[in-house]
Structure 1
Amino acid sequence: MVEQLRRPEVLLVGGRSGVGKSTVAAALHELLAAAEVRHVVIEGDTLDLAWPAPHLEHPEARLAERNLAAVWANARALGHHRLVFTNSVSVLEAPRLAAAIGDDPIVTAVLLRAADDVVRDRLARRAGGSAPPADVRRSSATARRLDSAVTDHVERVDTDGSAPVEIARRLGLLTGWLG
């Protein structure tokens, strides 16, 4: 049996498509692992990735939150108490995500930001050529929505001109998980 669990600590990493959420989370994972800091990384975008989209067809089901609760419960059973969670709008859904995690987690929310031209280049690399115009428009609209909707408790971090490991180190320091 795992010893008494500590209160969960959650880092929510949000931001527009192409801003670097997954890349920064992977870099933070490497830093935390090198420092032997127990943690779990969950890519929130995959928790309800299906067609037809469950959140549109059955919004009351809250499939992503239910799946987060299940995955996190398994990690908790193994003794984990630190979670890095990436999802574009996670910074807007902190209360619901905290409820899904349970145990009154300590939540740190970070909104990653980047300029349109930087994101366009990143999306083009991801697409293996040029970025689909619809993806760029959607990403820009999401950026505007997030930047105007998040509260002051959300830390805004610009990613332009910074290496993912630099941003990851900043997030590790912000949470207190890296010294």
Structure 2
Amino acid sequence: MADVAPGRPEVLFLGGRSGVGKSTVAEALHDLLVGADVHHAVIEGDVLDLAHPAPHVAHPEVRLAERNLALLWSAYRDLGHHRLVFTNTVSVLEQDRLAAAVGDDPVVTAVLLRAGDDVTAERLGRRSGGVVPSAQLAHSTRTARRLDTAIPDTVTRVDTDGRTPEQVARHLASLTGWLPA
């Protein structure tokens, strides 16, 4: 395990384009950690401010995702958890604000999951049960480019092409120090 002060939160921020496998990898990591009896929580960040009109557009000053993260995490902390897997497309760009919402000066590992356009299109197609609208794939591609060029050097890039979710999860567990390599 990572050498961390007792009680200090450890957070894995998983970001990446739509269809890269964030949720699937988080589930595989959850299963891996459960199997090793490593206490943790998983929060799917994309739903923390999912509403219409979009709160981050209509009321950006409210920071609803961060507020909801703080509330959810406090419930896990009350139960004794100190490790968090947090998935969200742009979490790797907003890791400072999200870490502040977690509180207690967390140890942060930020990872950008990457995948090629063909692989992403196939994954999105499976998710939607058919053909992916070209606008959705184009948005995913633009997001991938934006994330890859805008993230700080402290973010680890992990390619998912040709790897199973379990292989990626093992890599992430090693990166965080939650399981040995």
* Smaller-chain TM-score bracket: over 0.9
CA RMSD of aligned residues (A): 1.0
**What are structure 2's unaligned runs of at least 5 residues?**
none
- Report sequence identity in percent: 68
Q: Does 1:176 align with 2:174?
A: no
Task: Map Cα deviations across residues 156-179 of structure 1 (whole Å, 9 max, x no partner).
Answer: 000000000000000000000012
- Could you say what secondary structure the match of 1:92 adopts? coil
Q: Is contact 1:8–1:103 with CA below 8 Å preserved after alignment? A: yes
Q: Equivalent residue for 2:129?
A: 128
Counterpart for residue 62 of structure 2: 61
**Alpha-carbon contact 1:44-1:86 (below 8 Å) kept:** yes
What residue in structure 2 maps to residue 16 of structure 1?
17
TM-score normalised to structure 2 length: 0.96
Q: Does 1:74 align with 2:75?
A: yes
| Partner SS state of residue 157, structure 2 | strand
User: Which consecutive aligned stretches of 4+ in structure 1 deviate over 6 angstroms post-superposition?
Assistant: none
1:5 offset after TM fit, Å? 5.8
Give the TM-score, by structure 1 length: 0.97
CA distance in structure 1 between the partners assigned to 2:6 and 2:151 by the alignment: 31
Q: Which segments of 5 or more consecutive residues in structure 1 lack a partner in the other structure?
A: none
Shift of the alpha carbon at 1:151?
1.3
Name the CA distance, whole Å, in 2 between partners of 1:150 and 1:48: 22
State how many pairs are aligned.
Answer: 176
Per the alignment, residue 151 of structure 1 pairs with: 152
Map residues 92-103 of structure 1 onto 2, 5 A cutoff: 92-103=93-104
CA shift in 2, pair 1:38/1:60, >3 Å: same
